[in-house]
Chain A
Amino acid sequence: MVTIDLSKLSVREANAAFGAAGERGEDIEVLNPDARHHIGVGLVAPVTVKVRGSAGYFCAGLSHGARFEIDSNVGWGVGDSLYEGAVIVGGNAGAIAGVGLRGGEVVVKGNLGSRGGQVMKAGTLLACGNAGFLAGYMMYGGRIIILGNSGERVGEDMSAGEIYVGGEVQSLGSDAKLVEPSEADIASVKAFLTKYGIDFSGTFKKIVNAGTKLRYGVNEPVSRPLPHTVFSEADTYWNAKVAEDIHAKSLIGRYRIRGYGASKPVPHFGDIALKIDPARVAAASDALAKVKLATKIGDRHGAKPLELSMPVMIAPMSYGALSKSTKIALARASRLAGIVENTGEGGMLDEQRAEAKQLIFQCLSGRLGWNIHDMRRADGIEIYISQGAKPGLGGQLMAKKVTKELARVRGIPEGIDLRSPSRHPDIMGADDLVIKVEEFREATAYSKPISIKMGAGRVRDDIKIAYKDGFDFVQLDGLQGSTGAASTEVLENVGIPTLAAIQEALDGLREIDAKGDMPIVLMGGIKDGVDAVKALALGASAVAMGTAAIIAGGCISCMQCHVGNCVVGIATQDPEHEARYQIDVQSKAIARFFEVVRWQIATLVAALGYDDFRDLSRDDLVALTPEAAAITGLPYDPTWADKAEALFREVA
């Protein structure tokens, strides 16, 4: 038995000592816990931890196999994403006890705060007292037992799993219903109680998903997109696309869904030009050998940085939206190109991990596929707040794509129209986010960069919070960012263009004297090295490409990603369609695309007269449209494109 006195050690030191003791198989006693946060976070060892007092947030969070016994109360998020093991709380638990449980058992002798078991997937959460409101909110599986009263709206929007209430069911949540528990149900619940020495003689009511909201009633007929060449303007206000849109909605009675990003023209990198000095163009040949492109990102707080052979990453895209084959091809291409791949929402595939040299693991509100083991084998951790395609909305994955394997990786039932909450269970604001970042650092021994992914809204203000919350870098996604499925209205109308996003982000950091302190990885409609160079010159530290990489790997942009019958086997989980995707061929195609991106960045940097991409600056750019000038503050000079075109005749 190791005794750790938190009046003498910091939590970080304590957790390191936990890990060491765990490796030796020694049990741990924690004295003077003083309700500190993150006690035991990330502990992966079958030992017993006795906490002599109260613990703060996320006690035993992201742990696997240990048994925690807390004498008194715990703060919110006890047992967060627990993989296996047991947490026994002698007193009360704060909000979201057992949030995102993947397994194991959380036993609270007193009362539960609100939203107990939110987005839990497996395991058991027991409250011997009463539960607060929204217990089992959006749970995907597992079991909640409440011996006292249920709280308001119990089982709100649960997808699966079961809730047993011994006391009064105060009110049922949306899409939840009461059913008669079977004898086996009751026997299993009683056995659980007996295991923890809890005496209960009352009866149970059982609450399950009512199945009224998991599927849409009417599906929109599959249609192929109309050409974009006509938009609502002077004489074409009521054009065919508007009419089709209205017809479709008059059939389905709700907003429409499609894949890809904003389709309408918005001010973008095509609206700014590079100022290439004629005298220097000849120097552009052999640029790959001469120009420094390698960069590191993510070591602002001492973590091991991501190493990029050029300032480019693959944008986060999930296994789910994309087929497993596509994710493997992207991972392989990222290795071949010496860049970084990202899991997106929905968990990490073993094959993806094996193929990608560097992999960022993304944490979303639904905590789908989120677990300590994949965190540990990731090279970076990313908290997703929103994305350019659909900021403000949770993820959506149509039932057709929720296959058996996908459900297993995500820890959810098979075949539901999968919805994710719009916001994280444990991030209600900037202060919560600081604590969440800390939890992840504790869980990974401060060794991995922690980034934030966000769509572009009030970027000037949002970026300041990201900075103050201690992120290592920001993945900033403009309006043009793409997705596998989102409301067409949100795709087109929510968020600001990528060009405006980077401008606001840099202005925001400048306003708090933090310019250059926190790298920004810009994405949302970056199509090649030309766009990348413009983004870097505007001040991005790197760019990320999603759609362009997918197109390089065979996507034909039919925008039917949400249907799940992707004709080339990319945005599908249907084995017949996925079989059309040749991992070997397409991974090489994507890698070749990235090599041309590298060539373009190097050549353009050299053509601008530099030997390091970090030398690029706003002085190398002009705006070709008044809009681009207004957004970026770059000088307006619509004649520049022609000059650049003339210059480029000389290169290669």
Chain B
Amino acid sequence: MGNCKPFALDLAGDQSGLPHYEPPPCQVACPIGTDVASYVGLIWAGDKESALEAITATNPLSAICGRVCDAPCEPACRRTASDGPVAIRALKRWVLDSLGPTFELPAVPVTKSKRVAIVGAGPAGLTAAQDIALAGYAVDLYEAQSKPGGMATWGIPDFRLPPGVVAEDVDRILKRCPGITLHLNTPLGAGGVTLAHLSQSHDAVLLAIGASLGKRLGVPGDDLANVMDGVTFLNRINGGERPILPAHVVVVGGGDVAMDACRTAKRLPGVKTVTVLYRRGPDEIPARKYELEAAIAEGVEILYNVAPKAISEKDGGLSITCVKTALGAAGSDGRRAFSMVEGSEFEIPCGLLVAAVGQKSASLELATHGLMEGDIIATRAADMGTRMTGVYAAGDAAFGPSTLVQAMAQGHKAAYYVLAALEGEAHPVPYRVPYRTRNVPVAQDPLWEKLPHAEPPFLGLGKEPFADAEANYDDRTAHEQAARCYRCDTETGSADYSVKTREAIFRMARVDAGPTDFATITRERLAMRPHAPLAGRATFDELVFLPANLTRLVIDPYREACKARTDLGPGLDLAQPMLVAGFETAPEPIRASVANAIAASGGAHLGRAPVGAGVPWLQIVDPGEAVDPRAAAVVVRAGATGALALPTAAVPGQRVGLIVTAETVATALPFAVEAKADLVVLDGSGHLGGTWADLAGAPDLSLLPKAVGLLRTLGAEERFPLIWFGGLRSGTDLAKALALGANAGAIDVAAGLALGGAIGPGGLVFDGVEGRAAEASLGSFLKAVVSECSMMARCTGKTDVHNLEPEDLRSISLAAQTATGIVMAGLKKIA
């Protein structure tokens, strides 16, 4: 597990260009390209370890993400529009809860001499530190606070993200990367490390200081004693404080921090009522639906279309002067503008106001060096560089407050450019999120279409207010939720509607597609290459039947039966044309099952030894081998060299014939005519009489038309029945063999598979196959084969499978045309 290279550099790990891989929408939506489809598939398959590998491959904070990722993958999930998304985040938690605490990866030692300084041990800094350390460089990771984790530690309340979960991820990174030295309580600037010093002591500096200062409300009174910003409020509670608060707490804001703040307040002693004020409506609120619902479920009151105008002190508490808002048209950022409704002022009394209206980054040290631009560090998105050479930035400090997974994505990207610089790569290939797949099989769950979306159990406010507010899935729920994945990453069986073609069609139908996209899609479609020609010999798959339409009538199955009776001579007047061959080495109960199934199907057996009494048997012998009087017919393997001879019948009436291969047909068939053979077996595999002869692979189809042609030349067509052996998998294959001139067919591998056998190195194995069930299975398969064969005949307008003829077929490959002499469909060939 886990020998993936530091992935940020591993653009070769990107598999999105492979012929059969198209990253699914969830993976594309994930800023770090998590291979969701694979890990969900692995969860269904019960392979938690591999699922964990898939999750952690690009995500150093997997345990944290399992709890609090904002999961942009879920709205992108195609099932969202149907009956709810696949529970991607909660499934991740299920894996991490079970395996995370004990999951370790081998440590990667420092192998290079250069050193990198990273300031800020939050999600961006930790991610970058791991990528850089895994590339063999030493990393000094400076953290202003007493604990690492950044906003994960200080900004997210314990009931959503228990401190142990953060520690689990951080510990895993530090254990895996001994080259990372963590310097706690070391802020940037006075009392810590200076940028000037870091630039000297290290080969590169990455600033990931976060945006941990809460913004003020910007109304009169926002500096009063009982007014506090959301980040400060959460920092203090996460630091362990449990103050007794006033009975009514008001939170202003509608983002995730506001939700964390209101739910936190609700859990603190003294608080009776928590009210959230949001200036737009319920359709505009940016908080995730799940968090909003949780807050409401925990008793938080949300007031929409309300904005604070001023705050004053009153009766020992606060009074917020609010105004109602009206929504206007959507602005350029897509958000609807709002305006104050005049004269709608009203007062809300409360004891504490928490303003969760945004965060900013601030650093006097960086400002001194001229690196700041307003609230953020001026950073180039193209290479994550700042205004100082060798100094990079990532995370909220660089591009403004965003989500945890975005911070990680920026950490990866920054590490990529830092490493490129360390390696002296002046013009690295632009960074892109690599999309990988593990090619996990699709969950074969019969209920996948029906199983509804299930959220993890919501615990809300329990006896222990800061304990988990959400429970983990139980194993069964996790399995069921994993079954729901559409697996947009996989081929579904159609060569024509491949995953790439389907995605192209989806893209054509997208709301936001424009002419540039149309051109891209069209260009990609024009660039698609034809399917590679199939390797090896032509197969039955390259022949098609010509259906009856207007020039001839189809046969109505409900009205006219299609006959399948097959007369191979006295003692071999069979109910149907599919024989079973071989099984000499199969276990006795299996042989008995074969015998019973053949008897029930009205067929016959072709092999060296009889499978059982009561089944017409065609014995296979080598030249000179003893003929068994029990056999209805005896066929000898015609050698390529040496004299040809028919076996001598052991009893009167026993039929005698030859097994002819492509190698022997030229001599053996004329001999069979001359010697008045009773029947001939055409062996397309070249191995009939050996064990599991059909495992030789694609048969030599040319044998059949060659044999028919020879007989025609000799004026001996239909002189004796021809039994085809080689590559028959279905009744359709059989029908094609009949159309090409055979009177019957025979199978060994297909019969073995039907019995429940599996293909092993030395042939079919029947481990755990029970005789009676096997008998029913082979019986059913033979029945299906005959029905398919009849269906093909009916479709071509025939009422007897033996009326199929070469003219009912067309080739769809030149190889098949060459092998069988059946003309290609399409352009008329002039002879």
Contact = CB atoms under 8 A, between A and B. Distances in A.
A237 B539 contact: yes
B36 to A, nearest CB: 15
B759 interface: yes
A592 B549 contact: no
A495 B809 CA distance: 9
Interface string A491-518: 0111111011101100100000000000
A552 B827 contact: no
Interface stretch (A6-14, A57-65, A76-84, A562-570): A562-570
Given A233-B539, A419-B558, A489-B792, A527 B497 contact: yes
Contacts of A237: 539, 697-698, 727
Contact of A507 (B508, B546, B824, B828): B828
B535 A233 contact: yes
A137 B559 contact: yes
A270 B521 contact: no
A142 B783 CA distance: 35
Contacts of A251: 777, 780
Contacts of A458: 546, 548-549, 551-552
A501 B550 CA distance: 15
Given A252-B780, A567-B486, A560 B522 contact: no
Given A224-B448, A592-B511, A557 B81 contact: no
Contacts of A494: 544-547, 792, 795
A634 to B, nearest CB: 9
A227 B825 contact: no
A266 B554 CA distance: 24
A527 B505 contact: yes
A293 to B, nearest CB: 15
A581 B777 CA distance: 39
Contacts of B794: 392, 422
Contacts of B544: 479, 493-497
Interface stretch (A46-54, A86-94, A402-410, A428-436): A428-436
Nearest to B750: A246
Given A221-B446, A462-B551, A566-B449, A233 B492 contact: no
A200 interface: no
Contacts of A380: none
A490 B827 contact: no
Contact of A265 (B495, B698, B797): B495
A27 interface: no
B531 A265 contact: yes
Interface string A252-267: 1111000011111111
Given A274-B526, A631-B824, A652-B515, A261 B494 contact: yes
B762 interface: no
B449 A632 contact: no
A551 B81 contact: no
Question: Which of A563, A626, A631 has most chain B Cβ within 10 Å?
Answer: A631
Contacts of A529: 522
Contact of B753 (A243, A419, A528, A557): A243
A603 B443 CA distance: 41
A500 B535 contact: no
B458 interface: no
Contacts of B777: 250-251
A599 interface: yes
B671 to A, nearest CB: 30
Given A246-B729, A246-B753, A254-B783, A233 B536 contact: yes
B494 A263 contact: yes
Contact of B497 (A254, A273, A551): A551
Given A224-B442, A548-B505, A551-B502, A250 B780 contact: yes
A559 B553 contact: no
A260 B493 CA distance: 10
B549 A229 contact: no
Contact of B784 (A252, A264, A627): A252
B549 A262 contact: no
Contacts of A493: 543-545, 732, 736, 792
Contacts of A157: 558-559
**B504, B509, B755 — most chain A CB neighbours (10 Å):** B509
Nearest to A365: B556
Interface in B792-821: 792, 794-797, 810, 812-814, 817
Given A246-B754, A249-B781, A250-B780, A231 B549 contact: no
Interface string B431-454: 000000000001110101110000
Given A229-B491, A246-B754, A599-B518, A465 B551 contact: yes
With a 10 A CB-CB cut-off, give which of A262, A267, A271 has the most chain B CB atoms. Answer: A267
Contacts of B788: 255, 487, 489
A234 B559 contact: no
B518 A423 contact: no
B533 interface: yes
Of B527, B550, B781, which is in contact with the most chain A CB atoms at under 10 Å from its CB?
A: B550
A253 B780 contact: yes
Contacts of B554: 386, 391-393, 422-423
A157 B557 CA distance: 10
B336 interface: no
B525 A224 contact: no
B785 to A, nearest CB: 8
Residue with the highest number of chain A CB atoms closer than 10 Å, among B526, B556, B787: B526
A212 interface: no
B3 interface: no
B826 A503 contact: yes
Contacts of A373: none
Contact of B546 (A234, A267, A496): A496
Instruction: Name which of B494, B495, B511, B828 has the most chain A CB atoms within 10 A of its CB.
Output: B494
A500 B825 contact: yes
Given A137-B559, A504-B825, A455 B549 contact: yes
A160 to B, nearest CB: 15
Nearest to A222: B446
Interface in A544-581: 547-548, 551-554, 556-560, 563, 565-569, 577, 580-581
B476 interface: no
Contacts of A170: none
Interface string B220-263: 00000000000000000000000000000000000000000000
Contacts of A24: none
Contacts of A556: 78, 486, 488, 492, 502
A530 B526 contact: yes
Interface stretch (A184-192, A438-446, A642-650): A642-650
B498 interface: yes
A597 interface: yes
Contacts of B513: 592, 596
Interface in B587-625: none
With a 10 A CB-CB cut-off, give which of B555, B756, B826 has the most chain A CB atoms: B826
B661 interface: no
A169 interface: no
B509 to A, nearest CB: 4
A225 interface: yes
A375 interface: no
A238 interface: yes
Nearest to A271: B530
A487 B732 CA distance: 11
Interface string A390-417: 0111100000000000000000000000
Interface in B393-438: none
16 contacts: A228-B493, A238-B753, A243-B759, A246-B754, A249-B754, A250-B755, A270-B528, A274-B526, A429-B553, A489-B791, A494-B546, A496-B826, A527-B501, A528-B525, A565-B449, A565-B450
Given A422-B558, A651-B522, 13 more contacts: A224-B448, A234-B535, A246-B754, A261-B494, A391-B554, A430-B551, A493-B545, A500-B824, A528-B504, A589-B509, A625-B533, A633-B826, A651-B519
Across chains A and B, which 4 residue pairs bring their CB atoms closest together, nearest first? A234-B536, A392-B795, A631-B826, A225-B493
